[in-house]
Chains A and B, each alone.
Chain A
Amino acid sequence: MATPTASALFFPSHLPPPSLRFPSRRATATGVRPLSQPPCAGRPRLQAPPPPPPAEQVAEEQDDTPPLRLLEPPQEDDPFPSEMEPADPDFYRIGYARMMRAYGIEFLEGPDGMGVYASRDVEPLRRARVIMEIPLELMLTITQKKPWMFFPDIIPLGHPIFDIIESTDPETDWDLRLACLLLYAFDVEDNFWQLYGDFLPSADECTSLLVAPKEDLMELEDQDLASQMLKHQQRAIDFWQKHWDKAIPLKLKRLAPDHERFLWALSIVQSRSVNLKMRMGAFIQDANVLAPYADMLNHSPDANCFLHWRFKDRMLEVMIKAGHAVKKGDEMTIDYMSGVNSKFMERYGFSSPTNPWEHINFSSPAKIHMDSFLSVFSIAGLHDELYHNSALPSVETDFVDGAVVAAARALPTWSDGDVPAIPSVERKSAQVLQDECHQMLGSFSTTIQQDQQILDSDVHISKTREIAIKYRLHRKLFLQKIIDSLEIYQDRILF
């Protein structure tokens, strides 16, 4: 239930199995959308798709001895996930015309958003390989510190938007600035963002909690997060009211005629911007950047791509990390940040049941032995870099995922050199912890099954409500995972 698309499991890899990855802002692929589209739709991809398998093979399966298939192409399924279909060709075309390039990748759209997928195999290389390069002219950039510098400089000298930007505090209001810049860019004639804005999620599809109404925030069942989001919303609305809700010139007013538009722009900015240190000229600018095609990359804790700024011709490159093998159909992901689910929800509007940095506050004094817990699940590495060691032969790959790694971090553990763990004590403390987890599960208003039912049902729910439900579902799943892992731990603890 927690494992995402099945295609990645076809191919053995020495990396941690894809089950550790995030499903990347998307729900599990079991949902039936109200107006569902059949798989493998006919929109053209960036590269020509493989030819369809010939129809003779269906008859051949009935034979006893299938003949040699020398002249026919090898049977291969479409490696891309089934619910994803290629994005509009104009999406790449508007960038291609402006010297943006994508090498060996496809932009696919699904019910939960757009993602970047590899369209061909890449063997592990010694140098990072570029998959996307985006020129500076397409990006929207504001430096973090004063003096404000905009790359490209699209704000004319006397425009009132500059005064608004000037009034923001560089330490805290970077997202408000970038939102103003984005709204202005939509208004500038011949700006790339006028065309690219059609591919950003609209206000209905936007998964940020900033645009969520109060009842959706209540669905989160997390008081801290809800209050945080309310505070953020209030801050944004205050900012909008301060600058837009009065008599201002039309060229400023039409940028954000209502606060929903501003909130939408702010949510786009918060979820898609990245903080880069770019060397421009002689200096290194600490800049908040909205990069057009690189923001379609989703998050994964074991990402295979990273962003790099190429100073020579001022391009932002998305590069595959050296040593990462990529198969056709793999999703290209980036590590946004490492944090708990609530942090991701607050900033980006998604959560994951396999977040390896998830944290639970246990109140009981029971502790389990860390080394034995890690060895039971063959999780290796230092505390900051725990990973599942799937290279060991006697290892099952189905159960261990990021949640177990998070459990290893979240559970209260002790480790004292090579002092052995006493199994009975361990079992007792595991029991105590399991009970606490059960308690926490019970404190939720709905069970896991109920949440799943809500998500699977055909009733149309708004995007923000959906992600709120998913957030609490993932939390419950995590707790369930902890319970299961403690169970396995109790079984496998060594004498």
Chain B
Amino acid sequence: MASCSNPWRLFPGMSPVAAASAPASVLSRSRKSTKVFAGLPHRRKPLLFGSSRGTRRARIRCVKDDSLHFDPSKIEPPPYSSYFDSTSGQLEPASGARASIPGKEYWPEGTEARVRAARAPAPVGESVGAPSFGKKPGSRRRGYKDQVASASAGDGAETDGDDDKPVVAVSESDDASEEPKDSLDEYVIYETPQEEKLSEYDMDKMMGRPHPFIDPAKAMLLGEPKTSEELWWHWRRKSEKQVWSRWQRRRPDVDTVFAKAMAETGQIKIFGDHPTRTEAALAKTRRHLYKEERLEAEQRRLEEIGPIAYYSEWVEAYKDKDTSHEAIQKHFEETGEDENGQLITMFQHQTAGEYRIMMGTDVRIQRDPLAMRMREDQIKQIWGVDPVYPTINYVQDPDEVIDYRGPEFHEPTPEVVPYLMEHGIMITKEELYARLNEEREDINQDITYIPEIKDPMATAVDIGEHSYNEDSDDEEEDVDKAVAQPESLEEKSKEGEMSLKEAIDDSENLTDFLMDFKEDE
């Protein structure tokens, strides 16, 4: 290749010399590789292309490939480098980037080894040999070529026709490979071209006539109709016997019930007892289409025969009248009343009943025959039950006796004590005592009256607990000092003041006995 056009456009910062020298380096490198194969020593890359020294030195050699050369200083720098944040004084990142990554003093263990391994540059340079995968150890060493060269040199000196041999060998191998082919097919068999089997499309294609891109026979081939078992959309649910609860049966769909009703009345045909959703959808669609078709027909009829003739169907008075276009025209010419006026006149002859029928609000006319004629359970499946009396349970017997539980049926725990008292379960203490007293036997009922002594100690008797000295003259040996005491008390209180009894009788309550104590005491 004597010259190669520069396929790379100039990137900013690239010098054309660099671009021009790039293919040069590629060429020289390939040339070097061929040199090495011959076993000759390779020299340093000669400067054959006249590029100046300065650009060659300024060129930066990447690790990956040498095809792109650019001067990094000529790349347009970003419009800013960095700012200091006004509040913190730290370097503000240019675009909301994260804070600076800490240095390697803060890295966890083992990170530095991994980072160093990742940063190690990949080896540059192309290898001249190829791996032998264990077959020829030492084949990529420097000394191996010498050995091979010396070995081959030793062998080559013996034979002279070395150059001829490989050529001869190649041709011989070619002959050897061709012969077995010919030996197998000795007789040539001619095949007649199959032209009759070509379809119209294939014929057109072959002859070059205009034809569609795809073969219509293949593209529009319907194929054999599948049975309903194969069709995936006609999947039928398994029979209901396997379910163990009525709640597991399928919920009826509006369309499904309608389709079933239609099938029962014979309007559509379904396969099986219950329509699938497909069949139901088909029936619904068909109904809808029929309705639309009918409506369109009606619209066409209206347009065709005119509104007066159309709506005279609903007006009994105009049933026998001539309402064709000609009659209307004649009437217009006679009376000057145009079509709309005649229409209004006609409607003035319509009765209210006829009007209701026309608008469809007459309930006596069944609007949807199938819906009216559906069975009750079918209706229930679609529209649900009666909102007032949805179930049997809500039907009420007017003669029923109401089970009245009382005004406080909903507050069943009243106050306990008055309840018990009321019902005579509980009585008061006084009454209890009263009753008990009544029941108790009164000993004193038929006995003489005995005045009760208020002083309990008055009837105290010495039962001989303590032993006394017989010899002592002491009057106070008598234990029962109460006997002696009142006499002493009486003696003491005789003097001036009132006696105790008189004081007690005179006092209102015990506070009268609180003397006037001096505060010092």
Contact = CB atoms under 8 A, between A and B. Distances in A.
Interface of A: 33-35, 37-38, 40-48, 51-52, 54, 85, 87-94, 96, 99, 101-103, 109-111, 114, 130, 133, 186-187, 191, 193-195, 197-205, 264, 310, 312-313, 315, 460
Contact of A109 (B123, B142, B150): B142
Interface stretch (B109-117, B318-326, B479-487): B109-117
A90 B43 CA distance: 20
Given A34-B150, A195-B131, A101 B116 contact: yes
B133 to A, nearest CB: 4
A89 B131 contact: no
Contacts of A199: 138, 140-141
Specify which of B125, B144, B147, B150 lies most central, judged by the most chain A CB atoms within 10 Å of its CB: B125
Nearest to B147: A204
B306 to A, nearest CB: 92
27 contacts: A33-B146, A34-B146, A37-B41, A42-B44, A43-B125, A87-B142, A88-B128, A89-B123, A90-B129, A99-B117, A101-B116, A101-B120, A103-B116, A109-B142, A114-B141, A186-B134, A193-B134, A199-B140, A200-B141, A201-B137, A201-B138, A201-B143, A202-B147, A203-B137, A203-B138, A205-B144, A312-B109
Given A34-B150, A202-B147, A312-B110, A88 B138 contact: no
Contact of A194 (B39, B117, B133): B133
Contact of A198 (B32, B44, B129): B129
Contacts of B142: 37, 85, 87, 109-110
Contacts of A204: 138, 147
B139 A202 contact: yes
Given A101-B120, A103-B120, A200-B137, A93 B131 contact: no
A51 to B, nearest CB: 6
B53 interface: yes
Nearest to A84: B142
Interface of B is mostly: loop
A87 B123 CA distance: 11
Interface string B117-129: 1001111111111
Contacts of B57: 51
B45 interface: yes
Contacts of A194: 131, 133-134
Nearest to B143: A205
Contacts of A91: 140
B131 A198 contact: yes
A99 B131 CA distance: 19
Interface string B78-120: 0000000000000000000000000000000110010011001
B136 interface: yes
Contact of A313 (B113, B128, B147): B113
B140 to A, nearest CB: 4
A41 B139 CA distance: 19
Contact of A90 (B32, B61, B138, B140): B140
A52 B125 CA distance: 18
The 4 closest A-B pairs by CB, nearest first: A202-B138, A44-B125, A89-B125, A186-B134
B437 interface: no
Contact of A88 (B61, B127, B147): B127
A141 to B, nearest CB: 19
Contacts of B146: 33-35
Contacts of A44: 124-126
Contact of A41 (B41, B117, B120): B41
A406 to B, nearest CB: 31
A87 to B, nearest CB: 7
A48 B147 CA distance: 30
Contacts of A87: 142
A205 B139 CA distance: 11
A200 B139 CA distance: 8
B149 interface: yes
A304 to B, nearest CB: 20
Specify which of A92, A130, A198, A199 lies most central, judged by the most chain B CB atoms within 10 Å of its CB: A198
Contacts of B122: 93, 96
Given A93-B127, A264-B137, A313-B110, 17 more contacts: A48-B61, A85-B142, A88-B127, A88-B140, A89-B124, A89-B126, A92-B123, A93-B122, A111-B143, A187-B134, A191-B134, A194-B131, A198-B139, A199-B138, A200-B138, A202-B141, A315-B113
A203 B32 CA distance: 29
A133 to B, nearest CB: 7
Contacts of B125: 43-45, 89
B117 A38 contact: no
A93 B138 CA distance: 17
A453 B129 CA distance: 35
Interface residues of B, number: 42
Contacts of A191: 134
B145 to A, nearest CB: 8
Given A35-B150, A205-B147, A198 B127 contact: no
Given A35-B150, A89-B126, A54 B53 contact: yes
B42 interface: yes
Contacts of B117: 99, 101, 133
Interface in B20-48: 32, 39, 41-45
B120 A102 contact: yes
A103 B121 CA distance: 9
A205 B127 contact: no
A114 B141 CA distance: 9
Contacts of A89: 123-127
Contacts of A130: 113, 116
A40 B44 contact: yes
Contact of B129 (A88, A93, A114): A88
B129 A205 contact: no
Contacts of B43: 38, 42
Contacts of B44: 40, 42, 52
B132 interface: yes
A200 B134 CA distance: 11
Contacts of A99: 117
Contacts of B121: 47
Contacts of B61: 48
Contacts of B149: 35
B32 A42 contact: yes
Contacts of A43: 42, 125
B136 A195 contact: no
Contacts of A34: 146, 150
A110 B123 CA distance: 20
Given A42-B44, A43-B125, A202-B147, A109 B141 contact: yes
Contacts of A193: 134
Nearest to B151: A204
Contacts of B129: 88, 90, 198
A136 to B, nearest CB: 14
A345 B35 CA distance: 38
A278 B461 CA distance: 114
A198 B124 contact: no
Specify which of A47, A101, A191, A313 lies most central, judged by the most chain B CB atoms within 10 Å of its CB: A101
A460 B123 contact: no
Nearest to B142: A109
Contact of B138 (A38, A102, A198, A313): A198
B365 to A, nearest CB: 88
A96 to B, nearest CB: 6
Nearest to B44: A42
Specify which of B39, B43, B143 lies most central, judged by the most chain A CB atoms within 10 Å of its CB: B143
Contacts of B141: 109, 114, 198-202, 205
A46 B143 contact: no
A183 to B, nearest CB: 9
